[in-house]
Structure 1
Amino acid sequence: MLWNVYSTPGYARSQVLAEGVVFEAASLLVDVWTIEQHHEHRSPYRYSELPRNGLGPPTGFTGMTWSGFRPSDDQQQYGYNVPVNMYAYAALQRALELNRNIWHCDSFEKRATALAEGIRQGIEKWGIIKVDGVRTYALEVDGLGNNLTDYDDANVPSLLSIPLLGYPYDAEVYQATRERVLSSKNPLYFSGTHLKGVGSAHTRAGQVWPLALMVQGLTASTPEERAEMLRLLLKTQCNNGLMHESVNANDINACSREWFGWANSMLVALVESSLGMDCSKAAEEQHKLNIAAQEKSNPSELPRNGSPQDPAYFAGLLSTIAYDKETLTAPAYVGLHANAM
C-alpha cells in the first residue's frame, strides 16, 4: 500500500512516507515477519481456532514466514503458504526501495534484505514439489516434509496468481502448476453447464469464483483464453451488473454476496489490461456525453446556479445512465462490454 502511494502521481508522497509512524509500521512488519520465520519457538501469537492451544500445526524452519490463515480466512493445513510468501518477498523489495529513496535506515536495509533472502531460499527449497514426476509449486508446506499440492484457493495471493505477485518465479514450474490447478486434479476446480473455474473451501461445492476467473484471464498466455474469461464473467452478474463472490456452475442465478468490491475492482483491471484502456477515463468521458445529451434534449434541467451539484439536475441525469438489464451494462462499465467481446 505504501508503494502505491509512492508510485501514484498526485499524492504528497514524500511528506506521507516520511512520517515517522509510517516508517515505524514498516519496520515493525519486518520484525514480525522475521519472528514468524521461527514461529515454533519464538512467536507469541496464538489464535483459539488453531490446534495446539492456538499455535497451529507443527512447523520446521524453512526461511519463509508463517501464517495461520489463507487470504480467504480459511485455516491453513500447513504453516507456510507459498504464494503468500512470494507476495511478501515482492513487498519487501518495494520496501527496500522506499528505504533507499526516503527512509535511509541501515538497520532496516539489513533486516529487510535478510528476511527477503530467507523467504526466497525457503520458496526455492521447500515450495517446489515433484508430483507425477513434474515440478510444481505447492500451496502450503510445513518444513517437516508435508505439503499441499494440486489445490488452490480462489483468493489472491494464490498459485494461479503467481505471475501477478512480483516474485521471480520459474515459468516452467508455474505453467505445470497452472495446468494442474485448472483441472480436476484440484478438488476446488468446478465445471458445470454454464461455468468452469476455481472455487473455494470458503463457499459451497460447485460455486466458481469470478475473482479466480479474472486471475485466470490476467495470467492467460493467449488472447483466446482471456476473451473466454471475459465471456464467462459476463454470465456471472446475477442480474445486477456487478461481480459476486461465487456463482454456481450449473445455475448462474445462484450467487453469494450481492456486492463484492474486490471482484468488481479486479474486473476493471482485467478489462483495462485486455483492451489497453483506462476504465476510469472511459467512464468519465461517457458521463460527459450523457450530460451533454441531457442538456441538449432538456435545457430546463441545466443547473440554475451553474453548478454541477444541483440535485434536480442530477436526478434527471441519473435516469439516463441507470443500469440497463437488456444490455447488461452498469454505469461504471458503459460502452465496455460490447467492445470487450
Structure 2
Amino acid sequence: MDRREFSKKAGLATGGALIINPAYAMFNQKDKAFVSKRPPVNKRLFTSEAVEKVIVDVKKQLKDPKTAWLFENCFPNTLDTTVYYKEKDGKPFTYIITGDIDAMWLRDCVCQVWPYMPYLNEDEKLKRMIAGLINQTVKSVIWDPYACCFYDDFERVSSWSTEKYPVKPGVHHQKWEINSLLFVIRLCDAYYKITKDTTPFDDVWEEAMLTIVKTLKEQQRFHGPGPYKHARNYGDNYEYFVNHGYGRPTRKNGMIHATHRQDDPCILPLYVPDNLMAIVELENLANMFRTFKNNEEGARSCEVMRKQIMAGVEKDAIIEHEIFGKIFAFEVDGYGGRILEEESTVPNLMNLPYIGYCDIDYPIYKNTRKWLLSEWNPQYIKGEWTEGIGSTHYPQPPQRIWPLSTISRALTTEDDDEIKFCLNQLRNTDAGTGFIHESYVVDKPEEYTRSWFAWVNSFYGEMILKLLKEKPHLLT
C-alpha cells in the first residue's frame, strides 16, 4: 500500500496541522475500558516478536490503566505505522517516515527506533531492520551530507525544489543541522555495541563516515565558509540568512557552524547542544574507524576535531549568569554574543545527560537545568495546571508545550516528585487520543499539533521502560 494511501485509510492527519477537537476534553479519564488504538495486525507495517513480548510484560506491571494504554499505543507506533523495509541485492534497507510527513529525517528515524535497540539480540528480524536503517542513512549521507531529510529513493522531487538554492531529487529538505550526521554515528555505534555484528560496516559505510568527517570539518570554517548556504525564495525574515546565505559572522573557535537546529534557523551559527553531542559522537566514530577499518587517519581526524570543539565550548559556550552561575548558552558566535533559549527536541540543553555528554550531577548542567525550568528561560511555559518547555518551531502566541521536553525532564532527574509530575502531565494531556503529540496549547491539550508523530510516541515508551527498570515504585 502506498504510504499516502496508508495514512488516509488509517484516518491519520497529515502535514502537521493543528488539531482542535473539544470533544476530547470530555474523555472520561476514569474509564477502564481502554481499547487499543494500534492498527489491526494485518495493517501493521512491521512486527517484532521481541517488542510484542515487551508490551505484554510491561502492561502487566503498570498499575494505572491509562498509563498502560498509552504505553501499548505509543511504544510500537514507529513499527506499526512508519517502517518500510525492503531488500535489494541481498542487502536490507529501511525507510522510516516521521508519521504525518512522508519523509525520513536522519535525526527522527534514529530516535524513533532507539527504544527497540536493547532487543536486537532477541529478534533477528528486528536486528535486520535496524541494519537496513544503517544502510539507508549511510546511502543518504553520501547523496547529500548537508540535507536533514530524504525520500526512500533519489528520484522523487521535493516541493522545496524551487528554492533559491534548489534541493536535489531524493531530498525533502536541505537544512544543515549538525545532529543529522551525529545521529547516524549514534545509531551505528549502538548497533555494534549491542550486537557485535560488523556486517553493515562495509566500504560504503566507511565512505559515508569519511564524508561526515569532511562535512563537519568544512563547517568549522577555519578555511572559509564551505560549500553550503541557505535561503528561501519568499521574503520571510524567519528563514532569511544574512551574509549571502551563510549566517551571521563568527570568530572561528573550533566549534561547528550550522544554519539550522531542529528544522528552525539558528540566530547565531554555533549551536551549542549539537556541538556537545559532536564531542560524544566523534569519540565513538574514532573508535569505530579503528575497530572496523583499521583507519588510524580517520580516527585521528575525529580526535583532533573533538579537542578543537571542546576548546571552543570551554571558551565561548559556558557563560556566567547573574542568577544561576555558570551555565551553557544555547547559541554563540565566538565574539561574546550568545542566545539564551531552549529547544524541546534532542539534543537540547535539558537532555545533555541523555546523549551521554555529562552526568546529571555535573555542576554546569545542574545550573543550566535550574535556569531552563525558570522564568529566565523564554521557552519555559507555566499555566494553571500544565507547565513545560516550548519551541521556536511555531509562532507564539499561543504558547505551546512540547511533550518531548517533558519526557527529557523525566529522564534527567532522580527526584521522584518531579518524575511523577512529568508522568501525570503526559498522562493527562493526550486529549483522549491515546497518543502523545508534538505540542499543545498550555492548559488546552485538546488544541494540539500532529496527531501522528512517531518520535514522541517512541520517546514516551522509552521513558516508561527506563523508569520501570530504575524506579519501578513510581509505576507499579
Aligned position for 1:59: 250
Q: Which residue of 1 aligns with 2:404?
A: 211
Residue 250 of structure 2: SS of its match in structure 1? Answer: coil
Q: Distance in 2 between matches of 1:227 and 1:3?
A: 32
CA contact (8 A) 2:279 2:309 kept: yes
TM-score normalised by the chain length of structure 2 = 0.56
Alpha-carbon displacement from aligned partner over 1:175-209 (angstroms, at most 9, x marks no partner)? 11111111111111111123100001112442100
Is residue 131 of structure 1 aligned with residue 310 of structure 2?
no
Corresponding position: 1:38 with 2:215: no
Q: How far apart are the structure 1 equivalents of 2:203 and 2:371?
A: 46
Alignment correspondent of 1:172: 363
Higher alpha-carbon deviation: 165-174 or 257-266: 165-174
Q: Are 1:191 and 1:206, in contact at CA under 8 Å, matched by a contact in 2? A: no
Instruction: Give the CA deviation at 1:109.
Output: 1.5
Q: 2:271 aligns with which of 56, 68, 81?
A: 81
Residue pair 1:40, 1:59 contacting (<8 A) in 2 also: no
1:14 aligns with 2:208: no
2:414 aligns with one of 221, 246, 249: 221
Matched-pair contact (CA < 8 Å) for 2:416–2:474: no
Could you list the per-position Cα deviations for residues 84-113 of structure 1 after superposition, in whole angstroms to 9, with x for gaps in the alignment?
111111111111111221111121012111
Decide whether the 8 Å contact of 1:36 with 1:43 is kept in 2. yes
Deviation at 1:339, TM superposition (A): 7.2
Secondary structure of residue in 2 paired with 1:100: helix
CA distance in 1, matches of 2:330, 2:474: 36
Q: Percent identity?
A: 27
1:253: Cα distance to partner? 1.0
2:208 to 5, 18, 25: 25
Amino acid in the other structure paired with 1:8: I
**Aligned counterpart, 1:111:** 301
Per-residue deviation, residues 108-146 of structure 1 (Å, max 9, x unmatched): 012111011111111111110011061110011011110
Task: Supply the distance in 1 between the matched residues of 2:278 and 2:243 (Cα, whole angstroms).
Answer: 26
Mapping 1:253-332, distance limit 5 Å: 253-276=446-469
- Is 1:4 aligned with 2:195? no
Q: Counterpart of 1:141 in structure 2: which amino acid?
A: V
177 and 44 in structure 1: CA distance in 2 versus 1, 3 angstrom threshold: same
Distance 2:315 2:348 in 1: 19
SS of the counterpart of 1:162?
coil
Structure 2 CA distance for aligned equivalents of residues 96 and 179 of structure 1: 34
Contact 2:420 2:474 in 1 (8 A): no
1:191·1:249 contact (CA, 8 Å) conserved in 2?
yes
Distance in structure 2 (CA, Å) of the matches to 1:81 and 1:26? 22
Question: Which structure would you say has the larger RCO, counting Cα contacts within 8 Å and 6 or more residues apart?
Answer: 2
Where 1:269 maps in the other structure, the secondary structure is helix
Aligned equivalents of 2:286, 2:418: Cα separation in 1: 36
For 1:272 and 1:30, locate their aligned partners in 2 and report how far apart those are by CA, in whole Å.
Answer: 34
Equivalent residue for 2:438? 245
Tell me which of 152, 155, 160 is aligned to 2:342.
152
Q: Which runs of 5+ in 1 are unaligned?
A: 278-335
C-alpha contact 1:206 1:249 (8 A) present in aligned 2? yes
Q: CA deviation at 1:158?
A: 0.6
Tell me if the contact between 1:194 and 1:251 (Cα under 8 Å) persists in the aligned partners: no
Over 3 Å counting, the alpha-carbon distance change for 1:189 and 1:102 in structure 2 is same
Paired residues, number = 277
Question: Are residue 162 (structure 1) and residue 348 (structure 2) matched?
Answer: no
Cα RMSD (Å) of the superposition? 2.0
Counterpart of 1:232 in structure 2: which amino acid?
Q
Q: Bigger radius of gyration, 1 or 2?
A: 1
Distance 1:213 1:43 in 2: 37
Determine the C-alpha separation between the residues in 1 that align with 2:211 and 2:474: 46
CA distance in 2, matches of 1:139, 1:256: 25
Contact conserved, 2:441 with 2:448, CA < 8 A, in 1?
Answer: yes
Q: Which runs of 4+ in 1 moved over 2 A?
A: 338-341
